[in-house]
Structure 1
């Protein structure tokens, strides 16, 4: 099978190579040719272990990020510069001076300023490209070990080919995409750091192919892999860094071998991969190269994002176009007054040359230098520690934000999970009663109950004691997770007491941490749960790929064999694990996940939904834990079907999920947990300031409706005196219509809505009533979107920018002091929207506690809607309460936007705050897009995790926080902050100064050129419209550079009010949101001043 596939792949890759050779001239020509022949088609491949193919051709592994080369540098830079219309005009004017009949003054009068601008640009481009060349050289010349027959040789990164066996040492960068063949750990595992690939700071666990790892361990030398006849089938190169499908095939062993170490076929997935640009964190490893160069995941995900340009740039472009028209018209008037006789067109052109200083050639250079200064001042501000400016093109946009889309988890909260409640149905244990849990577990296990008996009890249909049910729940929490304990390698291994005589090497997997045991933080929730089980006496002491060990309260140990692990995914919203108890041989399937998903998988219990809602109203994140005991026959049947699905070459993931779904039926509920994500200390004052500044804040979260409402109130996103309108769940057009009408009457309410109700792509508010929804949401004082996905966050920002034409900022994840920041933003008139994936109750709680919804603002809970009629009725209800803060689920918002997009936006705009709960990443993106489209206002988005990247990139201004989930949001943002409280300093102080000073700088530069143009016009008119210069040539050059540049440029350092006053009175920010600092009106006023002074 593999050979046949290899032949077909050879043909396809040869064909692909013929296409790749069509052009090798320059990067611009290559890009043009690729555009002409369409997107490149990738094919799957078969890679022989250790034997690079001599017939198949793959991309070189040389990295080349240079924009230019020695030959193309000058032509490409000049082409880019003169593709700008005004620069081209100046070039034509300067070239015309070589013609004697058109010459006015000396050549350096016009070539001097033009050359000055071009020289600065060329120096900047050269410095940037030299930096890129230097970084590429360091990467390409990195030395790695390569295994060939019977020896190891050195090879540069740029010379690595598909099929090579590469050795990696600790802290070494992975040079190409690889399959893990062997590790120095006896279990065949290692950890990698992926922060340079996906921005996540937690370490990822990877596993070597069992067959190859056992083979190398047995032979004792990696070069023995050449004696193995094996191939790896790898899928076609694609962008996804979180998935992989492949198969390892060994042809020199018995296919019926029962052991894993000698299996003839092994299914490969993401756990067996080492992507390029990741770093090996532990031990040493050997990898088989499967993708190189442009086909690696890192390169395929390095596509350019949308280039953001400030609105002030567009306004200046419009003014300069007007100036060009004035130039042409003024020259024509001078010729007309002189008389159209003889070669009048020569005189007309000479007047164009004389008056050309009215066009601010140096304005672009001044503005670019000003933006660099602004960025430097922001990063040097001691009030903004660790602040990074990643986009120097738009610092003045900080002063024109009207809407702020905010994530909840890690942005308004600390993203530090603390276990708070354990609910068993008939009894619940809070943080103040954990001693009862400790004592109950101690009594249960000390009484002689074994794990085998406990497993029997899990299947009995009789009433159990509280201690027994408590033990079941705590054991499930200690087993069902993806946490790995790690310790440091110690200088005296004999002094380390490892329970059960476990290998010191197995326990000491990481050498750069302290001796005390920590967890591999797969997620803050799981670490919180495992840490809590340790505090009550059930401790995870060891875990590897195949087994785990727990210490019980009676100091005994119990071991489980890990049969299967089903990791958590955002699509399934749950994770599962199948384990076998070594003592009783019982097989147990544990599952934990969101209550919305688990409710359909478990046997009916009457308390689950109510108690989940109660926990959410307290602002807690909820998880349902369930289990099912399997017989040997049931598991054997499942294992066979699951293995067949894993070996499938097509639709592997879907087939595996369908097999697992057969086990997820009639699960027994063990417990309901509540984990608290503490609100940051400064959230409330910060949201108050934003509200007073006229910035409307929308909270977009994936939490439940109740949780979103709780957070909105507690954070003061919704003020105390602002009522909250909870948007009902809608699923159709009529429902959306009615709910929008209801909301229209309450536009003063803060809006709370779920991502589903707002979703664009389905039968919901954004699809049918997009404009209406945005208009309503704009009026709301606060908006909270719960159950909001990362894509939805991005869409919300995009839509808000589109509809309002206002500037929109986005921010996610942060540290402390958020309340003062939100207070300041509100006082400045900036409306903050919170987009979160939490429940409705949690979102409402956070919105209130953070003062996103002020104390005096009521909150409108948007009902869940699923159809057009429901959306219609609910919007009508909200229309009557537009003064309420709006709380809506993502599902209901989706319905409303499908049928009544415009109506919903208009209502939401009027709301003082909007909270969208159950909001998916897609819905976050849709909300941003919606607001930008309908309001034409500037929309900002703030977030901390990978689910906020789409929202941040879709906004006018993206703010990323360095969160515990990683650096994805920070890397994708325009401005990176350490804490949410810094938003007020960034927007109300630096944003205000940047915008006012940039507008003043632009007007002064235009004013400078207009004055000398007026003087020249008067001079020519007095002397019978003669076309000769007023001043000597060197004075013209000096006037535009030395004499006036530094005094005018000093405007960038100007401050009309001290920083303390700008923060104390955030209302000063409101005057900037309408963009009146630089308009045609202000331009004409300055022109009148120029005429007077000239």
Structure 2
């Protein structure tokens, strides 16, 4: 399939012929890239990003300044640490981007079968696909790009796909090939017979919008025929083929032109809240540094003017500027450049620990947690808003038929048995798993007739197709599974990146495989009826494979099969076959199917029983009655129901369980089977209270010949070209009316393990949880209740189906007024807010945004349904900017439709999804299951934040002590730009002597035991909003730094005075004084680290001990060896003198005295904090008890080293309930 350039601004034209190949450059390729860097721009781009950091930019300026002035310190002390930081950061960023590149390569190199001009199948890599290629996609595969389906394994040209990774909907969607191409089901026919042009619109973002035409030319006659294309012909990249053996399709959009890519935002560099606060602290330090430098410059020049022994010198602006710059260079260690490299190392190693956590290992898929971005690890401990997808994130996409309610009561399906339920009053989630039911299940002979009727109804009312197990069937000596297994071997080979050989030894799939499986199922259905009539035992149906467009329908059919009512599909005469407990066979004519749509909220089938002695013909028999079987949402079915007193009856029994059980002349039977509207409402409420997806079932009796005019009206509506939708709605309405309500059912959308417990823990941790889904409202609300997102009994406010801005504004204002009234009455009620995508478009407009956010802020939980991927991202962005400082947001999802919100959130977490790994590649962190989120945030998040925040504070503290000592020395040196420390000390203080212990601390520190962090979510709330890096805490640390600098400098000064030291001794010398002061500072800041540590593990103690040993070994080395750098000879003999004679005693005494005096306030403060803020010693804490305080932990363990401010209390609000009944 070649292509030409777009003929119009809004059109794309594709031609299938060999000559058009020269126009391929008009379109983009199918290569997908999620990396941040390109190989040729990596160095410059990364340097540009690092230069944006305040400390890095400052140090670059310092290096530049040293090139133009007579620097008071060696340039090496500034250049080497800066280069070390830059190259280490570059290595880390490059490694992480390499992992993203490798994931992209794996996706781009997937093998795809393409039809070439000769009619052979050629294997291409995914990124080699171009617009116009004809591709083959088999059952279970994901579409590599946007494709127009040309033909499928079905003779009707239909195919079924799931788009859960795009819009969150789990139902199978039925798409159709154009009639003109649906017979082309093999490569040779496509190459020989297809000469076509596709004209379609330019790529647009809306995933439901597609228009175009396919113009097919007859090769023999040269005539052309045109057929329209719409969204029902377009297979989207990221969707998956199901229940269809194969399709052939034409590529129309590739790469970044696909709808998935158009709905995905580009990955940007993220910076954590800690780093932003760090930059604020740095700016404050820089301001203070500048003020000190200006003051010292002024004082230096004033002192020079007044001093009689200094030669008078004219003060010029350049001279003053040189002094100012010299002081800036002298005090440049106030800005902790090594803080960045320490944080980079800490996060890099911490990310490895996170990935190696066995508690986050998913054995089911054999995957560990992954870190794609280590820059924001600590942000996981600051989450205030969690935005979660529903489909595949909270749920497993597995439906289970759980309960049914009929006139004879409510029944539970468990272990292929039916159990009658007695009084069920509790509505908590765990009651769903352990309800009160009779010990033994009901046998088929004791099953009430009303239950049998409902089960027969469910076995018929659907669009399920039956196939035999494909592993047991062969076609042409080869099975479809053989072909798929061959392709899987091919995919594994493709990971090497080489091109594959064209063609394949295995024949391409054909419709023969589908035909044989269907034929096998048809024969089984025919044999089942014959066996029942003979009284023989029939097959249990376990080898049937039910192909359903809705997981609910599949759950119903499988549930009925487990209870003995088996749907066998169609027999040879195209009759629907159902067998009852292996004793009776039923046949029905399928007259029509009214598919489900969102407006009607129901689906129906029209069937006619084949009565005893009738001809087994599939055609309608006007002389006999028929049935309309309708199931759907309660709000829809109840409106279509008939009063009990007006229900029709039959003049005589007909021999069919549905007809006789519902409409027989006996009033006793009819009264027992039919349900009133109020009774149905009660049953729906009861089932919904368990979080089940509820459906109501109703039946209408069509008297003889009554179907004929209805059928004519329906056919006429289907061919109406002017107002097809309106005509169909009218026809459906005339059919789906006067229903007898026979029961309601509850299906469980199976949750992932421990989802309710995880949501409870996160909510108690102060995280507000929003569920954003593309699924329909009823399904989303049911899952919210089932998962615990909406608590038991929680009322709901629905801001849905708003048609214009004014209507939405009035709805929001009405709800806000109700909230304000309850605030005045001091009432605190709880509610969940439900918003759909249509209403959200109006609610997020500038005039309504404030009202919407106020209503959301008051809600216990928020559910947004029917959202597009871009709308998901927009919701996250609005919440991010809803206040100042902005709340920290986290988004979690598993599909391609979640990528945009994952990229928009501060922290993006992806799951290894069944529908693809687009979310995993785009996210910052990847885990296997939603339940791992609890450990990720409460344990790892808290620890990462605690460590990082204290590392930041510690670095500012230790550099402040060091620089203030230098500043005090400046006063005694008459403000000369003379350093108190050797250049060797300046170079080694941050890089060597104080770096290792704080790195180990930043990796291994655990302020609370593991089980305490996970069982006491309250701790998370005390750390949120960056409380450890509050201004109060920052100034407390600076106060300790100020105290330590004063004690150490002036204590050392006293010890070094002439009256204390030996005349001519080492302490009297400048380098002796500086060495002794350096030793004091090193020991104090090292011990300070011990005082802030709550987990003195062996590695930390060993690192501290080793650092002390190495430091003093190096100091002695400096005293004996001339280091080949500037100032390398200054320390020769200094430590030799300090460690012998009177200086040794002064040194030892001074160290002991000054260490005690300097650290005494720290010890007192630590004791005070530990005694005032402790966790109770009991181990009985649990999630439900955390609201009373932190209940588990060790006595004496501090909750926080500062006061705990209370969470914002929200005003009371009104809960508004919107129900169907």
TM-score range, shorter chain: 0.5 to 0.7
Out of 178, 200, 205, the position equivalent to 2:147 is: 178
SS in 2 for 1:1077: helix
Out of 625, 644, 667, the position equivalent to 2:737 is: 667
1:344 shift after superposition:
0.8
**C-alpha separation between the residues in 2 aligned to 1:306 and 1:125?**
13
Report the CA distance shift for 1:696/1:320 in structure 2 as closer, same or farther (over 3 A).
Answer: same
Report the CA distance shift for 1:758/1:955 in structure 2 as closer, same or farther (over 3 A).
Answer: farther
**C-alpha separation between the residues in 2 aligned to 1:915 and 1:234?**
42
Structure 2 match to 1:1026: 976
Pairing 1:1000-1011 to 2, within 5 Å after superposition: 1000-1011=950-961
- Tell me if structure 2 keeps the 8 A contact 1:178–1:275: yes
1:525 aligns to 2:568 (yes or no): no
- Tell me if structure 2 keeps the 8 A contact 1:192–1:280: yes
**C-alpha separation between the residues in 1 aligned to 2:933 and 2:76?**
47
1:585 aligns to 2:657 (yes or no): no
1:63 aligns to 2:41 (yes or no): no
**C-alpha separation between the residues in 2 aligned to 1:758 and 1:976?**
35
**C-alpha separation between the residues in 2 aligned to 1:196 and 1:717?**
24
Report the CA distance shift for 1:599/1:240 in structure 2 as closer, same or farther (over 3 A).
Answer: farther
**C-alpha separation between the residues in 2 aligned to 1:610 and 1:592?**
17
**C-alpha separation between the residues in 1 aligned to 2:554 and 2:894?**
19
**C-alpha separation between the residues in 2 aligned to 1:697 and 1:44?**
43
Structure 1 match to 2:320: 344
Q: C-alpha offsets along residues 153-181 of structure 1, whole Å, 9 cap, x if unaligned? A: 66665554333334456787755432233
Report the CA distance shift for 1:990/1:188 in structure 2 as closer, same or farther (over 3 A).
Answer: same
Greater CA radius of gyration, 1 or 2? 2
Out of 91, 97, 102, the position equivalent to 2:60 is: 91
1:121 aligns to 2:191 (yes or no): no
SS in 2 for 1:238: coil
**C-alpha separation between the residues in 2 aligned to 1:664 and 1:593?**
14
Report the CA distance shift for 1:916/1:480 in structure 2 as closer, same or farther (over 3 A).
Answer: same
**C-alpha separation between the residues in 1 aligned to 2:714 and 2:801?**
39
Q: C-alpha offsets along residues 544-582 of structure 1, whole Å, 9 cap, x if unaligned? A: 9x989543325647476696674555x775456678996
1:334 shift after superposition:
1.3
Pairing 1:431-470 to 2, within 5 Å after superposition: 431=412, 434=418
1:227 aligns to 2:270 (yes or no): no
SS in 2 for 1:234: strand
1:117 shift after superposition:
2.2
**C-alpha separation between the residues in 2 aligned to 1:938 and 1:71?**
34
**C-alpha separation between the residues in 2 aligned to 1:697 and 1:488?**
44
**C-alpha separation between the residues in 2 aligned to 1:1019 and 1:371?**
37
Structure 1 match to 2:205: 239
Structure 2 match to 1:991: 941
**C-alpha separation between the residues in 1 aligned to 2:203 and 2:141?**
24
- Tell me if structure 2 keeps the 8 A contact 1:388–1:976: yes
Structure 2 match to 1:373: 349
**C-alpha separation between the residues in 1 aligned to 2:8 and 2:867?**
39
Q: C-alpha offsets along residues 730-785 of structure 1, whole Å, 9 cap, x if unaligned? A: xxxxxxxxxxxxxxxxxxxxx63323289998668x957xxxxxxxxxxxxxxxxx
**C-alpha separation between the residues in 2 aligned to 1:395 and 1:46?**
47
SS in 2 for 1:1005: helix
1:754 aligns to 2:788 (yes or no): no
Report the CA distance shift for 1:1085/1:1055 in structure 2 as closer, same or farther (over 3 A).
Answer: same
Out of 431, 444, 460, the position equivalent to 1:478 is: 460
Moved more, 345-354 or 901-910: 901-910
Report the CA distance shift for 1:760/1:475 in structure 2 as closer, same or farther (over 3 A).
Answer: closer
Report the CA distance shift for 1:69/1:714 in structure 2 as closer, same or farther (over 3 A).
Answer: closer
Q: C-alpha offsets along residues 870-918 of structure 1, whole Å, 9 cap, x if unaligned? A: 75246413653544444566599999999999899779868xx825679
Structure 2 match to 1:616: 688
Structure 1 match to 2:282: 320
1:59 shift after superposition:
1.4
- Tell me if structure 1 keeps the 8 A contact 2:265–2:903: no
1:1003 shift after superposition:
0.9
Q: C-alpha offsets along residues 816-839 of structure 1, whole Å, 9 cap, x if unaligned? A: xxxxxxxxxxxxxxxxxxxxxxxx
**C-alpha separation between the residues in 1 aligned to 2:839 and 2:176?**
42
Aligned length: 882
Pairing 1:151-162 to 2, within 5 Å after superposition: 160-162=129-131
Structure 2 match to 1:112: 80
Structure 2 match to 1:80: 49
**C-alpha separation between the residues in 2 aligned to 1:707 and 1:1074?**
31
SS in 1 for 2:150: strand
Structure 2 match to 1:876: 821
1:717 shift after superposition:
7.6
- Tell me if structure 2 keeps the 8 A contact 1:547–1:559: no
- Tell me if structure 2 keeps the 8 A contact 1:960–1:970: yes
- Greater fraction strand: 1
**C-alpha separation between the residues in 1 aligned to 2:29 and 2:289?**
54
- Tell me if structure 1 keeps the 8 A contact 2:768–2:861: no
Pairing 1:748-827 to 2, within 5 Å after superposition: 752-756=795-799
**C-alpha separation between the residues in 1 aligned to 2:356 and 2:979?**
45
TM-score normalized by the length of structure 2: 0.61
1:1000 shift after superposition:
0.4
Report the CA distance shift for 1:492/1:903 in structure 2 as closer, same or farther (over 3 A).
Answer: closer
Q: C-alpha offsets along residues 925-971 of structure 1, whole Å, 9 cap, x if unaligned? A: 86995697269655556677899888777765566667889878877
- Tell me if structure 1 keeps the 8 A contact 2:876–2:904: no
**C-alpha separation between the residues in 1 aligned to 2:714 and 2:683?**
33
- Tell me if structure 2 keeps the 8 A contact 1:704–1:917: no
1:134 shift after superposition:
5.4
**C-alpha separation between the residues in 2 aligned to 1:635 and 1:675?**
32
SS in 2 for 1:480: coil
Structure 2 match to 1:776: none
1:1054 aligns to 2:1005 (yes or no): yes
**C-alpha separation between the residues in 1 aligned to 2:224 and 2:738?**
36
- Tell me if structure 2 keeps the 8 A contact 1:51–1:164: no
Out of 1056, 1059, 1082, the position equivalent to 2:1033 is: 1082
Structure 2 match to 1:397: 379
1:642 shift after superposition:
3.5
Report the CA distance shift for 1:486/1:609 in structure 2 as closer, same or farther (over 3 A).
Answer: same
1:690 shift after superposition:
5.3
1:1040 shift after superposition:
2.4
1:345 shift after superposition:
0.7
**C-alpha separation between the residues in 1 aligned to 2:166 and 2:780?**
33
Structure 1 match to 2:1215: none
Report the CA distance shift for 1:102/1:755 in structure 2 as closer, same or farther (over 3 A).
Answer: farther
- Tell me if structure 1 keeps the 8 A contact 2:132–2:252: yes
Report the CA distance shift for 1:983/1:254 in structure 2 as closer, same or farther (over 3 A).
Answer: same
- Tell me if structure 1 keeps the 8 A contact 2:960–2:1041: yes
1:330 shift after superposition:
1.7
Structure 2 match to 1:795: none
- Tell me if structure 2 keeps the 8 A contact 1:753–1:917: no
**C-alpha separation between the residues in 2 aligned to 1:657 and 1:532?**
36
Report the CA distance shift for 1:145/1:294 in structure 2 as closer, same or farther (over 3 A).
Answer: same
**C-alpha separation between the residues in 2 aligned to 1:1078 and 1:559?**
73
Q: C-alpha offsets along residues 696-741 of structure 1, whole Å, 9 cap, x if unaligned? A: 667899999999799879969869xxxx7xxxxxxxxxxxxxxxxx
Structure 2 match to 1:1015: 965
Out of 91, 104, 116, the position equivalent to 1:147 is: 116
Structure 2 match to 1:165: 134
Structure 1 match to 2:1154: none
Out of 296, 301, 310, the position equivalent to 2:272 is: 310
TM-score normalized by the length of structure 1: 0.67
**C-alpha separation between the residues in 2 aligned to 1:178 and 1:704?**
29
1:397 shift after superposition:
3.1
Structure 1 match to 2:1144: none
**C-alpha separation between the residues in 2 aligned to 1:378 and 1:1047?**
21
1:1071 aligns to 2:1022 (yes or no): yes
